[in-house]
Amino acid sequence: MPDEVRYEVAPDGDLIIHVPMQWKKSSRRTLAVAPDAPTTDTPLAKAVGRALALHEEFERGDYPTLRAMAMAHGIDPDCVTHASNLALVSPRILKAIATGRDLPPDVSLRRLRGLRSLVWEEQERELGFAPA
C-alpha cells in the first residue's frame, strides 16, 4: 500500500525506505502532512522529513559528498550528518512520527539522534516502543 511505511531491497542490495509524507504550503509556512493523519506539524516530523529528503538526494548521487550537499543547501555539514543518521531509523518509528500515533511521549529529536544501534528492534526498544 502506498500510504504505509515500508521498505524494500533494491537490486543492488541497497535498502529503500518509503515514508508517505507530503509537503503542503500554507500562506506563511510549509507543513509536513502524513496521509492517514491530520496535519503532522511537529518539529520532530519536520526534521525527519527533511532528513529523508536530504538522504534521498545524496543516495541519488546529486552530490559527491555530504559536505558538498551541505554547502549547496547552505547548512552546516554536521546538520547533514545528523540528517543522514535520522534516515536510518526504524520504519515503525518513522510511521509513529509521521502519523502522530503510538509514539512514546518522551521521543525527541535529541533521543533519535542519540540512538546507539542501526538494528531496528533495538532502536524501538531504546525509545520505549512496545514489542511488535
Q: Residue 75 belongs to a domain with what CATH number?
A: 1.10.10
Which pLDDT score, from 0 to 100, does residue 47 have? 84
Q: Which residues pair with 25 in a beta bridge?
A: 30
Distant-in-sequence, close-in-space partners of 112: CB < 8 Å, separation ≥ 6: 44, 48, 86, 89, 93, 127
**In-domain check, residue 90:** yes
Q: Which domain holds residue 34?
A: 6-127
DSSP 129: P
Dist CA 1 CA 76 (whole Å): 36
35 lies in some domain: yes
Number of domains in the chain: 1
| Residue 1 in domain | no
**pLDDT digit of tens for each residue in the chain (132 aa)?**
456 677 778 888 777 777 777 776 766 667 666 665 544 567 888 888 888 888 888 888 989 998 999 999 999 988 888 887 888 899 899 888 887 788 888 898 889 988 989 999 999 999 999 887
In this structure, is residue 95 part of a structural domain?
yes
Residue 93 placed within a domain = yes
